[in-house]
Amino acid sequence: MSTRLTARSKLARNPAPPVIDYEGSQYRTDFWEGQGRQYEDAAERLALQELLPAQGRRIVELGAGYGRLADLYLGYEQIVLFDYSRTLLQEAAAQRGDDPRFVFVAGNLYDLALATGAMDTVVMVRVMHHLADVPRALTQIRRVMHRESAAVLEYANKRNLKALARWALRRQSWSPLDTKPVEFVELNYDFHPAWMWSRLEEANLRVQRQLAVSHFRAGFLKQALPAHTLAHLDRRLFAVGGRYPLAPSVFVQATAPEAGASVLADSEPADITALLRCPVCKTDNVLVRHADDQLACSECETRFARRDGVWDLKEPLE
């Protein structure tokens, strides 16, 4: 009981911004499968194929949902799918749980439960647009990187052609040229490329490449051409469009050249206690495995459980 109170009061002292709740959502079938978004999916995969180092030791996808993109990470020795929604991760675990390379972690990326310098590659797609506090998220992303890591981060671009046209026709109140983020629906934001670039710089993340993606996100085009063809046409515009993005989605590849060395170089990829950090006392290397399905923090004594294949670092055990 006292452990629980300690854990909760520590979490309360550094409250995270509001988080969009996908718990129990049917994201796979409500948004992707059967919803006419094969083009977007194909284009995002092509962008990731261009920007992701194809192989490495450890990769994490933040806000991985049900694992839509998980097959792109199979060149890695350890693949962490991290999300706030336990139910979406349970879906991912039901599909990928038999592969020992996968680790499923429920948590809040604002208090990222991954060890400092632990990741070779960090991916985040279709998540930035839900973040009320981008600088806090970028600080966490930078913290888990080492000096040879790459982060591949996608965000929704407010300065896109459709928004520009709507604004010119006075069918939209906000200006796509204004650099401030726009919250068009609660916890749904579009960002200006210049604003995002500044936040990345402030977080000590150095942009190496920038791609503009999904130029052809329009019903009539998607009906006229097969998704695969449209995505390959889009690919031809990725790099040139990335110089002054006007597409609705932007992918950046960033490095953290001033970060420390990789901390996990000598540990076994299978050792998840070296990979994780306690989200309550925010200390690396203090989680100890108890039995098969529990972790306990040797610093603050908080305990966490694995259920249905998902490590729950969002809610400590009672």
Ligand X SMILES: C[S@@+](CC[C@H](N)C(=O)[O-])C[C@H]1O[C@@H](n2cnc3c(N)ncnc32)[C@H](O)[C@@H]1O
Give the per-residue contact string, 102-141, with ligand X (x = CB under 6 A; - = no). Answer: ------xxx--------------xxx--x-----------
Q: Which of 47, 52, 88, 287 binds ligand X (CB under 6 A)?
A: 88
Q: Which of 48, 58, 60, 63 binds ligand X (CB under 6 A)?
A: 63
Q: Which of 46, 122, 151, 278 binds Zn ion (CB under 5 A)?
A: 278
CB of 114 to Zn ion, least distance (A): 14
264 binds Zn ion (CB under 5 A): no
Which DSSP string do the residues of the chain spell out, in sequence order?
-HHHHHHHHHHHHSPPPP----TT--HIIIIITTTT-HHHHHHHHHHHHHHS-S-EEEEEEET-TTTTTGGGGTTEEEEEEEES-HHHHHHHHHHHTTSTTEEEEE--GGG--B-TT-EEEEEE-S-GGG-S-HHHHHHHHHHHEEEEEEEEEEEEBSS-HHHHHHHHTT--SS-TTS-S-EEEETTEEEB-HHHHHHHHHHTT-EEEEEEEE-TT--HHHHHHS-HHHHHHHHHHHHHHHTTS--SSEEEEEEE-TTS---S-TTS-TT-HHHHBB-TTT--BT-EEEETTTEEEETTT--EEEEETTEEE-SS---
300 binds Zn ion (CB under 5 A): yes
167 binds ligand X (CB under 6 A): no
280 binds, among Zn ion, ligand X, none (CB under 5 to 8 A by kind): Zn ion
Taking CB under 6 A as the criterion, which residues in 198-227 touch ligand X? none
280 binds Zn ion (CB under 5 A): yes
262 binds ligand X (CB under 6 A): no
Contacts with ligand X, residue ranges (CB under 6 A): 19-20, 22, 63-65, 68, 83-85, 88, 108-110, 125-127, 130
